[in-house]
Structure 1
Amino acid sequence: MSIITLTSDIGLQDYLVGAIKGQLWQNCPGAQVMDITHQISPFNLPQATYICKGAFAYFPPKTFHIVLINLFDRKADYVLLAEHNGQYIACADNGLTTMIADGMPVRVVKLPLDKQLPKDTFSIIKRFSQAYQELQKGKDLAELGQPATDYIVKNNLQPMTGQDYIDGQIIHIDNFENVVVNITRKQFDEHRQNRPFSIFFRRDEVITQIAETYADVPEGHKLALFNAAGYLEVAINKGNAAGLFGLQGFHRDQLTSNSGYQQLSFYQTVRIIFG
């Protein structure tokens, strides 16, 4: 059975997610339609990237991932379909393709939208459904649309680094209010170079050890660990780190071209000092 996944910033407060699934089940009979999440913060591309990369890695080849994030960032007559790691990523031309792929995907095509239909979520789902059906019939990606050579390219939000520090940004807060920072274990190890370190996330809060599990500290105590996706996480064992420490997620206005590092709130930045 083939798989279609759905990821969006739509939320679950109205009919839209249910209607999208109904449309997919009508247009793609036999497909297993699965949710990744619909709780992405509106227009939050860094958070969407973190969620998608973490989830997509565990799906089998040929999975068809529909990502409905910032769907109408600009008016366009097409949507994108990319091939990455043997899977397909269907999304708007808004930069997510290269963010999820951590660079340029193997192949990307433009899927033209029907000019007779309104440019809304349902016409886009219909176009993705058509592409899915054609792939199921054995067509190659190149047969589905024109090669995309001028689509929007965006890079992942990277931590700022110096000789003795890394400054990372909070990209996700999970259901337990654990705080995920865009610093990977690899980046941490490369900059640490076996030096002692201190993780600062508030002026009076510091962590100097990396835990393996939440249970490494007593209940109610703070800790830092690298989660299953490989990213730094600040947490409290059986507590809510974000709420207790006043930490917030990353916001869209911090991605604008005139928004420099100095404008990032202290509560949105986690600093690691080495030495």
Structure 2
Amino acid sequence: MATNFYKNQSEPKTILKSTGIVTLLTDFGLQDTYVGAMKGVMLGLQPSLILVDLTHEIPPQQILAANFQLTTIQGYFPPGTVHLAVVDPGVGTTRRAIAVATAQAWLVGPDNGLFSGFLAQDPPLAAVELTNSHYWRTPTPSATFQGRDIFAPVAAHLAGGVPLAALGTAIDPATLITLPNLVPRRFPVRGRSLDGSPADASPTTALVPSDSPDSPDSLSAAQWVWQGVVQHIDRFGNLITSIPASVVPAEPWLVQLEYLQIPAVTTYGTHNGTHNGTHNSTHNSTHHGTQTQGQLVALVGSQGWVEVAVSGGSAQAILGVTVGQPIQVRTRDGC
């Protein structure tokens, strides 16, 4: 009897139909031929594939950045697209090579958390470990280039109509690796700062997790703080956090980065003379165009996350922040 690889349900009557589209996201860059080799393998198997480069400029081995970039393309491709992602610092180790089916797409790549954000929005229905070497480029793949020898041919076969179950051993989607600290946490503000002074006397306010027994039963919006991390730094030096627009308070708000408080603005249109998307927040009345050049601002970006930017410059260069840096969103009255 065939293994039922669909989680908590019988196999659907209608299986996701391939579009023949495969997207590619890697940290390989464009100086070398790694990306070209992967495309050659796929086109050799399925010459009619439509190959779309998402980006190959993920900083080397930065899984968090890859996770963010994959999340930002959801909803732009038709159902049945195969997303191939290779940012794989664990290549050659015991980390699993996987393919995942969701309601909208297939995902192919290493099981290291880079699909965490995508799967949070489009949950996995099924997953397999890629153990069937019949669908690899070679039964003896390179220990350092499995993107070419395993992931690329598997993506091509999926796009060509090979069933997910044929590609390897079924695994429980609940066992897929997820990245820690991506989901922002809400904390109530305690009455004292870390040094024991009144909370409004210090920008660093003592916090208690919302599930703590000491948490108040009912707090106003001004008494809550959202804790997240910097999940990506874009080419303009904008700091893109893991805090979504949906939790931004209606009151005037700010971002706190260690001891620095950065007020929010409403819109943000250009950066360094280059159009950088339209960023909107309905929660404050200040327009970025009125800001002094070099002034740090917080805003809700076009991709739906709280960001820190600087008018006419790079927030990353000014602050020296790296991916993973803790960051908070709070109302100005909640300081």
Establish whether residue 44 from structure 1 lines up as the match of residue 69 from structure 2: no
> Does the 8 A contact of 1:24 with 1:129 survive in 2?
yes
Q: Are the structure 2 counterparts of residues 239 and 17 from structure 1 closer, same or farther at C-alpha, using a change threshold of 3 Å?
A: same
Matches within 5 A, 1:125-164: 125-149=148-172, 151-155=175-179, 157-163=182-188, 164=224
Of residues 94, 109, 117 in structure 1, which corresponds to 2:128?
Answer: 109
The answer to whether the aligner puts 1:24 opposite 2:42 as a matched pair is yes
Q: 1:55 aligns to what?
A: 73
Alignment check: 8 A CA contact 1:82 1:90 kept: yes
Of 226, 244, 266, 1:166 maps to 226
Q: Which runs of 5+ in 1 are unaligned?
A: 251-267
CA contact (8 A) 1:5 1:35 kept: yes
**Which residue in the other structure is 1:89 paired with?**
107
Match of 1:201 among 242, 257, 265: 257
RMSD: 2.8
Report what 1:225 is aligned to. Answer: 299
Identity over aligned pairs, percent: 25
Unpaired segments ≥5 residues, structure 2: 1-18, 189-223, 271-286
* Pairwise CA distance, 1:31: 1.2
Shift in Å at residue 89 of structure 1?
A: 0.5
TM-score, structure 1 as length reference: 0.79
- Contact kept, 8 Å, 1:113 with 1:123, in 2: the verdict is no
For residues 14-44 of structure 1, give each alpha carbon's deviation from its aligned partner in whole angstroms, at most 9, with x where no partner exists. Answer: 3322322233332331112221112223332
2:314 pairs with 1:236 = no
- Aligned equivalent of 2:322: 248
Q: For each residue in 1:217-249, what CA deviation from the matched residue of structure 2 results, as whole angstroms up to 9, or x when unmatched?
A: 236233222122211111123321111232222
Q: Is the 8 A contact 2:27 2:86 kept in 1?
A: yes
Q: Distance in 1 between matches of 2:240 and 2:299?
A: 10
CA distance in 1, matches of 2:243, 2:118: 16
Q: Is the 8 A contact 2:232 2:239 kept in 1?
A: yes
The answer as to whether partners of 1:98 and 1:105 remain within 8 angstroms in 2 is no
- Secondary structure, aligned partner of 2:70: helix
Structure 1, 111-120 or 45-54: larger mean CA deviation: 111-120
Give the direction of change, closer, same or farther, for the CA distance of 1:271–1:57 in structure 2 (3 Å limit): same
Q: CA 1:196/1:213 → structure 2, altered by over 3 Å: closer, same or farther?
A: closer
Amino acid at match of 1:238: G
Q: Tell me if structure 2 keeps the 8 A contact 1:214–1:236.
A: no
Structure (1 or 2) with the greater helix fraction:
1
Partner of 1:265: none
- For structure 1, which segment, 130-139 or 160-169, has the greater mean C-alpha deviation from structure 2 after superposition? 130-139
Partner in structure 1 of residue 266 of structure 2: 211
Corresponding residue pairs, total: 253
Report the alpha carbon displacement of residue 204 of structure 1 after superposing the two structures with TM. 4.7
Q: 1:134 to 1:175 in 2, by over 3 A?
A: closer
Q: Which has the larger radius of gyration?
A: 2
Q: Secondary structure at the match of 1:106?
A: strand
For residues 111-148 of structure 1, what are the alpha-carbon distances to aligned partners after superposition, in whole Å with 9 as ceiling and x for unaligned? 21638413435554343344344434544322333211
CA–CA distance in structure 2, aligned partners of residues 88 and 179 of structure 1: 29
Amino acid at match of 1:111: L
What SS class does the counterpart of residue 42 from structure 2 fall into?
Answer: helix
Amino acid at match of 1:125: R
Looking at structure 1, the residues matched to 225 and 132 of structure 2 have their Cα atoms a distance apart, in angstroms, of 47
* Mean CA deviation greater in 174-183 or 57-66: 57-66
Matched, 1:175 2:198: no
Instruction: Describe the SS at the equivalent of 1:177.
Output: coil
Q: Does the aligned pair in 2 maintain the 1:97–1:105 contact within 8 Å?
A: no
Verify: 1:271 aligned to 2:328, yes or no.
yes
Mark the CA change 1:167 to 1:41 in structure 2 (over 3 Å): closer, same or farther.
Answer: same
Aligned partners of 2:233 and 2:245: how far apart in 1?
Answer: 18
**What is the letter of the counterpart of residue 118 of structure 1?**
P
How far 1:200 sits from its partner (Å)?
2.2
Alpha-carbon spacing, 1:248–1:155, altered in 2? closer, same or farther (3 Å): closer
State the match for 1:253 in structure 2: none
Report what 1:3 is aligned to.
21
Q: Tell me which amino acid in the other structure corresponds to 2:268.
A: T
